[in-house]
Structure 1
């Protein structure tokens, strides 16, 4: 499966030291140049900047060609490029967390998964301990409703039994 990723899923996977689930879940992971730039930004966590400075072989950076869809104007440039690249490459999936970006991507008929979905898929394949990943994630700035987190924890704890 080929995916395009926005900045957020990569950042949080790096912060919780689970970035290596991506090549285990997906055949190809592609990011646009602006996402790479966001990962290199001075305000990005040091672990993120170091990782993207020498990216792994499984990560591809591609440049966008052509114009953005006007529906993307409300989004930041990284999200605009990620969605545009996903459309241009006709990928199977786009990795997005931002709600506004997810809404636009849905309108453009893209299949979406966010960080929690990535962690869920990794847990289903036995690649990670889901409750431990959530505990680590809760120590970052990642935000999701406690109701959603509790529901997912219950789901994946019951799968382990």
Structure 2
């Protein structure tokens, strides 16, 4: 996450996503806390809870809030990995990137300097789960 702040002017994390990450006992939680303490990211909440609730009928809480915040702030991009959430976000006019797409962008820009194998191992260490064949497809 701290590397992502090098690419973007503003990195906002929905409060529901922060709650979800904070409940975990892994490196992702530590990375988020470090980024928050350094002022690199900010926590935000959707101002339209009814819209979030409507999306929650078919999407997760974090995905729903991410989409609503993206629309409210006219965000350049939202990061979503869930297929249904990505589809809905695009339907609503948002630009969507997945976590792996963001990581690929960071690697291609030289911000992340690990080769494919070491990067995959690092992602596994911090609790990010993805099938190796999907990972390799994105990083070719």
TM class by shorter-chain length? Answer: 0.7 to 0.9
State the number of aligned residues: 133
In 1, the alpha carbon distance for the partners of 2:128 and 2:18 equals: 20
Query: Using CA pairs below 8 Å that are at least 6 residues apart, which structure has the higher relative contact order?
Result: 1
2:93 alignment counterpart: 109
Q: CA deviation at 1:38?
A: 1.1
- Say whether residues 1:119 and 2:103 are aligned partners: yes
1:85 aligned partner:
69
Alpha-carbon separation, structure 1, partners of 2:70 and 2:21: 19
State the shift of 1:108 in Å: 1.1
Pairwise CA RMSD: 2.2
Q: Deviations over 1:109-129 (max 9, x none)?
A: 211111111111111111122
Query: Per-residue displacement from partner, 1:66-100 (whole Å, max 9, x unpaired)?
Result: 22163452111111111100000000000111112
Aligned twin of 1:62? 44
Is the Cα–Cα contact under 8 Å of residues 72 and 104 in structure 1 kept in the other structure?
no
- 8 Å CA contact 2:55, 2:64 repeated in 1: no
Greater strand proportion = 1
The 1:108/1:145 distance shift into structure 2, 3 A limit, reads farther
Gaps of 5+ in 2: none
CA distance in 2 between partners of 1:123 and 1:39 (Å):
23
**TM-score (norm. length: structure 1):** 0.71
